[in-house]
Amino acid sequence: MSKVVVLREYCKSCGLCVDICPKQVLAIGDTTNQKGYYAVVVKDESKCIGCAMCGAMCPDVALEVSRKKRS
């Protein structure tokens, strides 16, 4: 199972990660961070495939993607 974590205080709500996600896991949230930006939220983690495209697109390094290794 893959997991994506949004580092809210780094997010500037540019939406690049939301647009690039092939499974529509992310969305722009409805609460602001300390800088006043509407930080991205994970809306459906169960759909995440761990491709890490969101993390690669983020100019502010506000996403961490992890994948559980198969045994």
Confidence of residue 71 (pLDDT cuts 50, 70, 90): low
So what's the pLDDT on residue 67? 87
Percent of the chain with pLDDT over 90: 92
So what's the pLDDT on residue 52? 96
Average pLDDT, the chain: 94
Helix (H) / strand (E) containing 26: strand 26-32
Which CA distances in Å does 30 have to 4, 21, 42? 18, 19, 12
What is the per-residue pLDDT across 35-64, written as a single tens digit (0 to 9) for each? 999 999 999 999 999 999 999 999 999 999
So what's the pLDDT on residue 11? 97
Domain 2-65 class?
A: alpha beta
